[in-house]
A and B are shown apart, each in its own frame.
Chain A
Amino acid sequence: MTIDTISESTQTSKHVILKVSSLSKHFKGLKAVNNVNLSVKSGELIGIIGPNGAGKTTFFNLISGFLKPEKGSKIMFNGDNIVGKRPHKLAKLGIARTFQLVRPFKFLNALENTTVPHIPKNTYVSSSVLKNKATWSLIEVDLAEKKNYPAFILPHGDLKRLDFARSLAVQPQLLLLDEPFSGLSHEEAFRVERLIRESNNKGMTIIIVEHKLKILMRLVQRVFVLHEGRLIGEGSPQEISNNQEVISAYLGSEAKEYV
């Protein structure tokens, strides 16, 4: 089998990796996520946009298991219902996430930071192999030179990439990125964008929540728009920027600049 045929076969067998039906979460009367239905195919690069408080992060928390949805909600991952499973089990199944604010293990160095996600899957692997794997995860994001630096002295851009390396080390099928470009300079954002593209080309499904629309719109293939917990728009970036409801809710009148 040549490389071409492999890539073809992966392209042809695009199954639905995530299917969310009637997903809702209420916080004492506030409907943070309200009856959302969507499905994501394997290998897609998806963006989720919406104003602050629209329920984007809650949506991520629901999928990655940090919050329990209301009764009647269904989250199907690879055909299995994953509602009620703990986050570490979902990580083993293949869902990884990053957080809106960087959350490194501050007093551990960069290498130890990337060793942690390798621990659960490599119980019977010698520690030198584990270290090698962690070093490779750092090399993927160009942080190998700083592997002995404790995380609290690394700058914000490095921490963002360290976060990204950590979640890649879980070897996920579905990667949830919560604002990967926030607080980054132009060049750093470009680096992260390249990393996201590379891992998507390897077949990883990625969902991104982001406010920097210029980068997001040129990166993703499909966009979901959340507003007050509801899904108000869905489609390619072109379609979304012309959608009148989305423009009035979030984008504003200068929407066409982004595409």
Chain B
Amino acid sequence: MDRKQIAEKFEDVWDEIRSRSYYIVGVLLLVFFPFLLVTPGSILSEPFSILNSFYSGGSIPILSDLFNLGQEIGLFGKNAYLLNIIALCLIWAIFAASWDFLSGYTGQVSFGHAIFWGFSAYVTFWVATGVPIGITFDPLDPIVLGIPILDEILGSLIFLINAFIDFIFIITNEILVFIFGSNFMRPPLAALVVGAFTSAIFAVGIGFIALRVKGPYLALVTLLLPLIASQIVVIMTDLFGPKYGIPFISGPFVVERISPFDLPPDLMGRASEINELNFFIFVLVIFFISVFLMMLVAYSRIGLAFQSIREDEDAAESLGINVRFYKILAFAGSAFFAGLAGGLFSQYLRFTGPSFFASSFSFSIIIMCVIGGIGSISGGVVGAFVLTILLELFLKDIFHGVQSLDLLGYGILLIVTLRYMPFGLARASKDQKKACIVGVLFAISWTIIPIGEGWGTNIIASLSSSLPLGTDVLSNILSVSFETLTSYMGKVDYMGQITSSLSDGDILMTLSFVLIFTFGLIASVVFFFAEIIGLFFMGDILGLSRSWTYEDLIKAKFLIYVAVGIPFAFYLPKAFKKVRLRFWGVWPSAGRYEPD
């Protein structure tokens, strides 16, 4: 092969990789995240689990230092809280992607996907611990009318009805006990898989109902199904357990029985952390497998058939696509993965209950998919991550004790996304994606970087006093940076005299500070909106600052900086381009064609 051809080929491959760079970085972060948690130098003396390799090698010190720093700030919470949150994100991502598989790809809009989620949670419980034996039925009381002959007839009728219902109860119980067994433990992983498969079979039945109705009517029917299911669960307490739910569902790979004293000395007292890491890795594996399978189907010819049904059912059928079969296939596949997520969620919470059928679960995943981008499995994943992190890490701490926060936050974000990126985050234009990332980085830099040794103490001091937030922080930052700036100007010896003039390094440093300040001047708009208006509004007018700890304040600050920083990062290059064209013509990028 010619050298030029090889170069072209590599360029093609590189283009393919570059266009997926966001996903690749995300996956790498997910996989290598556990390394961040391990402090350097913790080496196991004896083999403990399959995760030995993670612990024995130590990790990159800089990353774990960063993690420790974050933990000190309180960004991640205590005891690998962030790992838990990301496990939750992964579970939601499977669930949202399963909705996208059915509604985004096949166009069968389901407003009650929680039915598969809850159904599978209960089946997982049954399989893991068995069905309770001896389901009883309260017999109907005989009706006494006073006429002996009628009473006898009615009495015998009611006796027959009672016997019949009792018989049905006993038979169903026997069958369920025969299938699931009773009162013993099965491995939770097996329970999970069985739950998912049962959910898929259940979905085939729902699919047959769904064939009869289309469009908004299907949405209505699916909206009602989980409500009915939750009522059935509440009524049939013998079968489904008490109506407040069943606690103590065991999770997979959880080493509860090992007491903290059995652990090697390095890991003493870190049993819960190890449990969480184990669960995280387990969920991660399930997530990769299920998203891979869903993408495999969605990008294959089956996915094409699904899409054709979404676009035009009649046209697809006239071209030989078996619409009924593919619809039921989509229902079953979607329910399988929704069931997987449901079982995982019940193992995550160690709890199953009628609340699993709540419609807020169904709506949450719809909003996740819309924000991430409907009709692309990855969209659901992106949306699930953004929303779950937003809710669990930020909103819950910023607004203490406010009910149904999730739908409030999701709703606002949904409106904004629909206005500016109607096809979702995954399909936003390149400028918008860049603006999102730059905005988040910007927010991180403004919230985390000043909390080092010198700056942080000042800010903490200013925060602990109950002065107005914005102005004080500003003055602090200005004074500190002025000090650092002047310290480079000239060196003062022990006699108090300036000994040396400016060296080359000093000039460089000064120039760099000048640059930073020039950009900082532009960013002062953001600073004004975020720090003064945003924090003043949230903290003082809404009165949230009374319940805020220092960590919550940082979270609120971060959130406001993201909200202001993303539009700033989006419009700044455009404004800069306009100014540039006005004053310099096309000078900074001469010769490059830039269509607007």
Interface residues of A (CB under 8 A from B): 64, 66, 86-88, 91-92, 96-97, 99, 103-108, 112, 115-117, 119-121, 127, 130, 166-167, 169-170
Contacts and interface: CB of A to CB of B under 8 A. Distances in A.
Contact of B315 (A105, A115, A127): A105
B322 A88 contact: yes
Contact of A87 (B305, B307, B318): B318
B309 to A, nearest CB: 9
B305 A119 contact: yes
A106 B316 CA distance: 12
A169 B315 CA distance: 13
* B305, B316, B320, B321 interface centre (most CB from chain A within 10 Å): B320
Contact of A120 (B300, B307, B311, B321): B321
A169 to B, nearest CB: 8
Contacts of A86: 317, 322, 324
Nearest to B320: A91
A104 to B, nearest CB: 8
B542 interface: no
Given A103-B312, A105-B312, A97 B304 contact: no
B319 A117 contact: yes
A116 B314 contact: no
Given A116-B308, A169-B319, 15 more contacts: A66-B318, A86-B322, A87-B317, A88-B319, A88-B321, A103-B315, A104-B311, A108-B307, A108-B311, A117-B319, A120-B322, A121-B320, A127-B300, A167-B318, A167-B319
B193 interface: no
Contacts of A97: 318
A119 B325 CA distance: 14
Contact of A96 (B300, B308, B319, B323): B319
Contacts of A121: 320
A117 B319 CA distance: 5
B296 to A, nearest CB: 12
Interface in B312-343: 312, 314-324
B99 to A, nearest CB: 18
Contact of A112 (B300, B304, B312, B315): B304
Nearest to B325: A88
A105 B309 CA distance: 9
A116 B317 contact: no
A170 B319 contact: yes
A251 to B, nearest CB: 30
B315 A170 contact: no
B320 A115 contact: no
Interface in B53-105: none
A-B complex: 3 closest residue pairs judged by Cβ atoms: A91-B320, A105-B311, A117-B319
A92 B305 CA distance: 15
Contacts of B307: 105, 107-108, 112
A127 B296 CA distance: 13
6 contacts: A104-B311, A105-B312, A116-B304, A116-B305, A116-B321, A120-B322
B375 interface: yes
A167 B301 CA distance: 18
A115 B316 CA distance: 11
* A66, A92, A117 interface centre (most CB from chain B within 10 Å): A117
Contacts of B318: 64, 66, 87-88, 91, 96-97, 99, 167
A108 B308 CA distance: 8
A77 to B, nearest CB: 15
A5 to B, nearest CB: 33
A96 B316 CA distance: 11
Contacts of B314: 66, 87, 99, 103
Contact of A170 (B300, B301, B320, B324): B320
A130 B301 contact: yes
Contacts of A96: 318-319
A120 B315 CA distance: 14
Contacts of A66: 314, 317-318
A127 to B, nearest CB: 7
Given A88-B322, A105-B308, A119 B301 contact: yes
A108 B312 contact: no
B320 A108 contact: no
Contacts of A130: 301
Nearest to A120: B320
Contact of B320 (A92, A106, A107): A92
Nearest to A151: B311
A253 B246 CA distance: 83
Contacts of A127: 300-301
A91 B308 CA distance: 16
A84 B301 CA distance: 28
A103 B305 CA distance: 15
Contacts of A104: 311-312, 315
Contact of B304 (A92, A119, A166, A170): A119
A97 B300 CA distance: 26
Nearest to A66: B314
A99 B375 contact: no
B301 A115 contact: yes
B320 A117 contact: yes
Contact of A166 (B301, B319, B322): B319
Nearest to B375: A107
B319 A91 contact: yes
Contact of A119 (B321, B323, B375): B321
B315 A99 contact: yes
Nearest to A93: B320
Nearest to B305: A119
Contact of A88 (B301, B312, B320, B375): B320
Interface string B354-390: 0000000000000000000001000000000000000
Contacts of A116: 304-305, 308, 316, 319, 321
A29 to B, nearest CB: 25
Interface in B438-495: none
Contacts of A105: 307-308, 311-312, 315-316
Contacts of B311: 104-108
Interface string B292-311: 00000000110011011001
A243 to B, nearest CB: 32
Interface in B512-534: none
Nearest to A106: B311
A30 B304 CA distance: 39
A122 to B, nearest CB: 8
Contacts of B304: 108, 112, 115-116, 119
Contacts of A103: 312, 314-315
A117 B304 CA distance: 10
A66 B318 CA distance: 9
Interface in B388-409: none
Nearest to A130: B301
A103 B153 CA distance: 65
Contacts of B324: 86
A26 to B, nearest CB: 21
Nearest to B312: A103
Nearest to B307: A108
A150 B319 CA distance: 19
Contacts of B323: 88
